[in-house]
Amino acid sequence: MRLTKARIRSYRSIRDTGWFDIEEKKTIFVGPNEAGKTAVLQALQQLNAPDGVAPFDPLRDYPRAEYNNISSGREKPEDIVVVEGRFALSDADRAKLPDNYQNVLYSFSRKLDGSAIHSILDGPDIPSFGDLKKDFIRLCTHGDKQFKKISADDIDEEKPSLKFSKLTGDWQEDHKIYESKSMALATFLDETLSYIDEENQTENNRYDRLKSSVNTYKTRTQVLKILESRKPVFVLFSNYFRVRPLIHLDHLATRIEQELLDDTQYDFGNLCLMKLLGFSARELSNLGKAAEPAANNPEALQEYQDQLDKRSYQLNAASVKLTDEITKAWMPKKGRAEADKLRVSADGQYLKVVVEDDLGVEIELDQRSEGFQWLVSFFVVFFAEADDLHENAILLLDEPGLSLHGLKQRDFRKTISRLAEKNQTLYTTHSPFLVGPDELDMVRVVEMLNRREGTKVHTKISAGDSAALLPLQEALGYDLAQSLFAQKKNLILEGLTDYWYLEAISQMLESAGIVVLDQKISLITANAASKVVYFATILHAHRLKVAALLDSDAAGDQAAQQDTLVHALGNKKILRTKDVYSGSVSNPEIEDILRETLVAIAKEDLGWDIVSTAVAQPGRPIINIFDTEVGKFSKYKLAKAFLRWSRNHEARDLTDKERDQWTRLINKINNALK
C-alpha cells in the first residue's frame, strides 16, 4: 500500500495545506525556514505512527492563535480532522480482497484527539432500500405462490410478502442498508429461500443478487478491517538520532532497567545499535563480566566460548553490513578511501564504534566528520528498525544529510532513491544537491506567505515566495554549470524557444531522412542575445568547439558585432537566421523561417487569427505581427503550441520553403562545429 494524496489541517503552523499529490517512490519537500516542512512530516506520521510516538496534543499541536476555540469548547478535538491520506493498493493487498474491491482506494484520517476514521473510495456503493425494493417485492410475489403450495393449514407461518412488509414498513427509500438493516434483510432472505422454486433460474438469480447487495455493508466492513491491518507505518528520521562511539554497557543496561531513559533523543541511536546487533545491553554487559570457567569443566567452557563466538560473529556481521551500505553512500574515490571498514567491537564493559582507514588505523567514530557520523547513525537506525517496521513502511526523512558536503549529498541522493525502490520515501531539504535535475516532478513546494493563511503545499512547481524555489533554482544552475563543459561541440542559442524549435524540427527532419543534427552537439540557451558572448567566452576558454545562432534583428546584430564574440568564435561560427531565410523580411528571427506553419498553428490551437495580416504584410517579422494583433501575446505559448503540433505531424507537413530553410540551417550548424 502506498500513499497517493494527503491533506493536513489545524496543525501548528498549518491551517490547511490543501490536497497534495505524493509520488509513487520519492517525494521531495522544499521551502524556506519556518515554512512548515517538518510540521508536514510530523503530521503525516500520525496517519500510522510506530509504537512509542506521542499522539497529537491539542495544547501544543493545535494552532496557538486559535487555541481559545478549544479551551472555550467552541471546537472539540474529537471533531477536528488533522491529517488525511489516500492510499493505492499493492498487488499483495489486492490478493486479500474480493474481486469487486480490486481497484479501490483506501482513505484514512486522524483527528486531534487521536481517534481515526477510514473509508473505501471507488468501491461498491452501499445500496439504499429504494435500490432493492422492487426486486424484493418481485421475490416476495414469487415466494407467496410457493408458500401457498407447500404450507399447511396448521402451520403458523406468515407468507414472505407479509414478513417483508412488517420488516420494512417504516423504512424510507433513501435509507442505506447499513448494519442493522443489512442483518435483518439477510435473515429474511435466509428464511425465504425455502420458498424459491429451484427450477426458476430468474428468481434464483434475483435471490443471489439481493443476497450480495444486502451483504455489501458486511463485506465492506471486512475489507476495511483488512486494509487497516495492512496500512503502512510512517517512520520519521530526524537529525538528532546519533550513535555514540563509546557505550558503557552496564550503565546503559541499568538505566534501561530502571526506566531512566528520559532523554530518548540521546539514547535512541544506541538502543537501535543494540537492536541491530541482536543483543540487549544487559546481555553484552554480562558477557563482559563473566569469568572464564575452569578448564576441568568442559561443558561450561564450551558454553562460555559459544557465547563469545556468537557475540563476535554478530558484531562482525553488523560491521560488514554497515560498511557495505556506507561505502555505497559515501562513495570514496580511488586512492582516497574515507571509510574502508566500520567496526563494532566489545571490550569488557565498553562497546566501541571505530573506523579503520586504508592504513589500518582505527579512529573513534566521534573523531570523524559530522556528515560521516550522521550517515553511520542513519544506517544503524534504519537497519535496526527494518525487521519490525520497514517491510511495510513509508520513510519520512527530515533534512537528511544536512551535515554532508554538497557532493556527498548528491551521492546520498542516490542512496535515498535506492531506499525508495522498496519503501516510499518523503523528505524535506534546503539543499540543491538533494534535488536531481530529473526529479523536478517529484518536488512539492512548501511555503507560508503569512501566519493567517498558514503553510501551503504546492503539487505544481509554483510559489509566491521566491525563497521557496531557491533549492530548485540552485539545482538547475548547478546542473547547467556542469553541462556547459560536458560536450566538445556546443551551439549557443539566444533563448529557450529557439531551443524548442531547433530540437523539434531537427527530429522531424531526421525521422524523414532529410538531414541529421549532429548528436554530439550540446544546445545551450543564453536567455538573451546580449548574454551569448559570456557563454561563448567561457566555453572557448576551455578549448571547446563553439558556435552561436543569432536572430537577424537589432539585438542579434548588436551581439554579432561584439569584438569579444568575433574573437572567440570567428565570423564563420556566428550563424544568423538571415543566412538561410528566403522570404521578404529584412531582419528575420527564427520564427520567420517557420512563418506559414506558425500562423496556421496559432489559429487552430490558440485561436490567434493573423492570417490576413501576415499575407498582406509579408515583409513584416511574424513576431511583430503577433505582438500587435494578439492581446497578451506570448512567444512561449506559441512555441509550446508548435511542440504539441510536432508530436503528431511529420516533416512533410511543413511547407517546402520551411523544410529547405531548416535543412540548410542544420547543415550550417553541423559544418560550423566539425
- Over residues 453-470, the pLDDT tens digits come to 889 898 765 555 555 555
User: Considering only 416-420, 437-441, 588-592, which range has the smallest mean pLDDT?
Assistant: 437-441
- pLDDT value of residue 335: 41
Provide mean pLDDT across the span 164-168.
Answer: 92
Could you name the CATH architecture of 1-126+389-468?
Answer: 3-Layer(aba) Sandwich (3.40)
Per-residue pLDDT at 336: 45
Task: Tell me how far apart the alpha carbons of residues 216 and 189 are, in angstroms, rounded to a whole number.
Answer: 14
For residues 75 and 84, what is the distance between their CA atoms, to the nearest angstrom? 19
- Grid cell, residue 620, equals 513584416
Indicate whether 333 pLDDT > 60: no
> Over pLDDT 70: what percentage of the chain?
89
Mean pLDDT of 373-389: 70
Q: How big is the CA angle at 551 (ends 546 and 554), to the nearest 5 degrees?
A: 120
How confident is the model at residue 264, as a pLDDT?
A: 54
Q: How far apart are CA 298 and CA 302, in angstroms?
A: 6
Place of cell 503539487: 459
Average pLDDT value over all residues in the chain: 84
Cβ-proximal residues to 300 (8 Å cutoff; 6+ apart), any chain: 293, 294
Whose grid coordinates read 538531414?
515
DSSP-derived secondary structure for 333-393: BTTB-S-SEEEEEEETTEEEEEEE-TTS-EEEGGGS-HHHHHHHHHHHHHHHHHTTTGGGE
Q: Under a CB-based contact definition with an 8 Å cutoff, are residues 281 and 253 in contact?
A: yes
Task: Please report the pLDDT score of residue 34 as a whole number.
Answer: 84
For residue range 282-313, list pLDDT tens digits in order: 888 887 776 777 777 888 888 878 877 887 88
Tell me the β-bridge partners of 548: 492, 574
| Contact predicate 549/575, CB 8 Å | yes
Q: Name the maximum alpha-carbon separation found in the chain.
A: 118
For the chain, the structural domain boundaries read 1-126+389-468, 129-218, 240-388, 484-672
pLDDT at 387: 54
Distance CA 507, CA 510 (A): 5
- Its pTM stands at 0.64
Would the pLDDT of 152 be above 60? no
Taking the CA atoms of 430, 434, 439 and 442 in sequence, report the sign of the dihedral they define. Answer: negative
